[in-house]
Amino acid sequence: MEAQRKNVFKMVIEKIQSGEDLEDVKRYFSEKLGIVSPGEIAFVENELIQEGVSKEDLQQMRNIHTELFRKSIENQKPIAPPGHPIHTLMSEHALLMEYANELDTLVGSISGKEAKPEYLVRIRELIGFFIESESHYQREENAVFPVLEKHGLTGPPSAMWSEHQEIHAIEKEIFDLNSESDSDLSTNLDKMQDIATSLAEKLADHFYKENNVLFPASLRMFSEKEWDIVHLDFDDIGYCSYSPTTGRKKPAEAESAGISEEGEVNFGSGSLTLEQLELLFNHLPVDTTFVDEHDKVRFFSESPNRIFVRSRAVIGRSVQLCHPKDSIHFVQDILDDFREGKRDSAEFWIDLSGKLIHIRYFAVRNDSGKYLGCLEVSQDITEIKKIEGEKRLLDG
């Protein structure tokens, strides 16, 4: 089979060398080989070079393959119905591929020439689409990949995530060359040309793998309930301006909160035992206090280094009685504003024995907008204020 495909590649090169019409050569390539991945092309090219085929002849064949391959991604139909997460991702693949091809063609056609203003406007618009595409990758990484891993498929998601980083690195080079100044952007087009080509080729290869391996595997493995959760996660993460919305199915509601038979507290986004929940609050790097809609203290966390003293005797006490008289009116104003919907948060900071303490109040409302109480969060930010530069996870 490999020998037959290699012979087709050789025939394509001979047709190009003989001056045959390129559209006819493309048709021959497509009819004989169908869709060939860039990885397979690279493998066969290496063998052809060893057999004496020149790199120049191979480049012409590669150009034809690249054009056909990119177009195949644009034209590939989603394998799930409208409204399904996979339909959304594959539709975005087609559009991003179209944008990448257009950017590559446009930059290449005007590189080294004086660019018309309308061309520069379009280039900026196309770059904007790729800036927006971050949510596309976040949805895959945070909503689809974890479910695949739960089903035991860990290798492909990991490989695709690594390729996302490679894509982001290429995109960043393009973003860095973008400019609001027409003259600066026009000057940078020469540098952008090869990068735009690399982006289009990388996206074509990456999207092909996801469309033909990762997404079909997801459709085979995921249950309807899992797809409902993926859909909800997609909605939470957000979409691109060019994400399809027509026919989007309304997902089932997430599992409602409550106590399971095992005694775990279910939050919809996960569940915790009572012990885990208590320890979680007590390990937060902030002090928290919750006051209900009747201004009664209902809860406070018990971190080992609390900023302000709290005793269990305060539970059920009116919060107004927990403050000195000269500051009660400030607290009351905040609570009244929360209750009336005039604001959602309030903050201030004080110097306490040489420490800078940041104190924030947040109105707590349910999905219907009903006021249920106030969350107070206090944090010692003395050391945080000293932070400069960056420290990565691997820096130790």
Collapsed DSSP state (helix, strand, coil) of residue 153: coil
Q: Percent of the chain beyond pLDDT 90?
A: 45
Which pLDDT score, from 0 to 100, does residue 146 have? 93
Residues 286 and 317 in one domain: yes
Give the pLDDT confidence of 376-387 residue by residue, as tens digits: 999 999 999 999
Give the pLDDT confidence of 306-341 residue by residue, as tens digits: 888 777 778 888 888 877 777 788 889 999 999 999
Which pLDDT score, from 0 to 100, does residue 367 have? 85
Residues 94 and 57 in one domain: no
Both structure tokens of 375: 């969350």
pLDDT band at residue 64, thresholds of 50, 70 and 90? Answer: low
Quote the Cα angle for 310-314-319, to 5°: 100
Question: 335 near 327, Cβ under 8 Å?
Answer: no
Give the pLDDT confidence of 211-245 residue by residue, as tens digits: 888 899 999 999 999 999 899 899 989 999 999 87
Which of 214, 237, 260 terminates a domain? The answer is 237
Question: 150 near 222, Cβ under 8 Å?
Answer: no
pLDDT higher than 70, residue 394: no
Question: 264 near 271, Cβ under 8 Å?
Answer: yes
The length of the chain in residues reads 396
**Of the given ranges (36-45, 71-80, 121-130, 227-236), which has the lowest mean pLDDT?**
36-45
Residues 90 and 231 in one domain: yes
Whose CA is closest to 208, among 64, 72, 104? Answer: 72
Position 266 in a domain: no
Residues 92 and 232 in one domain: yes
Which pLDDT score, from 0 to 100, does residue 91 have? 94
Q: Which residues pair with 373 in a beta bridge?
A: 292, 364
Quote the Cα angle for 51-52-54, to 5°: 130
Residues 33 and 97 in one domain: no
pLDDT higher than 60, residue 27: yes
Which of 220, 237, 254 terminates a domain? The answer is 237
Phi, psi of 33 (to 5 degrees): -115, -20
Looking at mean pLDDT, say which of 57-66, 203-212, 315-324 comes out highest: 203-212
Q: Which residue has the higher pLDDT, 208 or 287?
A: 287
Give the pLDDT confidence of 146-162 residue by residue, as tens digits: 999 999 888 889 889 99
Position 242 in a domain: no
Which pLDDT score, from 0 to 100, does residue 331 have? 87
Position 259 in a domain: no
Question: 207 near 163, Cβ under 8 Å?
Answer: no
Mean pLDDT of the chain: 84
Give the pLDDT confidence of 82-95 residue by residue, as tens digits: 999 999 999 999 99
Instruction: Write b or e for each residue in 88-120: b if 16 or more Cβ atoms lie within 10 A of its Cβ, otherwise e.
Output: bbbbbbbbbbbbbbbbbebbeebbeeebeeebb
Question: 192 near 174, Cβ under 8 Å?
Answer: yes
Question: 93 near 207, Cβ under 8 Å?
Answer: yes
Which pLDDT score, from 0 to 100, does residue 160 have? 92
Burial level of 217, CB count in 10 A (0-12/13-18/19+)? middle
Residues 326 and 300 in one domain: yes
Residues 125 and 97 in one domain: yes
**Of the given ranges (61-65, 72-76, 105-109, 390-394), which has the lowest mean pLDDT?**
61-65
**Of the given ranges (7-16, 286-295, 347-356, 384-393), which has the lowest mean pLDDT?**
7-16
Indicate which CATH number applies to the domain containing 310: 3.30.450.20
Question: 291 near 283, Cβ under 8 Å?
Answer: no
The residue type found at 303 is S
Residue 324 lies in domain: 272-386
pLDDT higher than 90, residue 183: no
CA distance 273 to 279: 10
Indicate which CATH number applies to the domain containing 227: 1.20.120.520
Which pLDDT score, from 0 to 100, does residue 355 have? 92
pLDDT higher than 70, residue 291: yes
pLDDT band at residue 42, thresholds of 50, 70 and 90? Answer: low
Residues 71 and 90 in one domain: no
Position 372 in a domain: yes
Residues 147 and 7 in one domain: no
Q: Which residues pair with 347 in a beta bridge?
A: 360
Residues 232 and 124 in one domain: yes
Both structure tokens of 36: 């060939």
Looking at mean pLDDT, say which of 5-9, 12-16, 209-213, 370-374 comes out highest: 370-374
Position 36 in a domain: yes
pLDDT band at residue 106, thresholds of 50, 70 and 90? Answer: very high
Helix then strand count (H, E) for the chain reads 14, 8
Radius of gyration of the chain (CA): 29
Residues 137 and 220 in one domain: yes
**Of the given ranges (125-134, 302-311, 337-346), which has the lowest mean pLDDT?**
302-311
Position 267 in a domain: no
Which of 48, 75, 102 terminates a domain? The answer is 75
Domain total of the chain? 3
Position 157 in a domain: yes
Q: Which residues pair with 361 in a beta bridge?
A: 346, 376
Which pLDDT score, from 0 to 100, does residue 111 have? 67
Position 28 in a domain: yes
pLDDT higher than 50, residue 1: no
C-alpha torsion sign, points 345, 351, 352, 356? positive
Residues 277 and 202 in one domain: no
Mean pLDDT of 41-46: 60
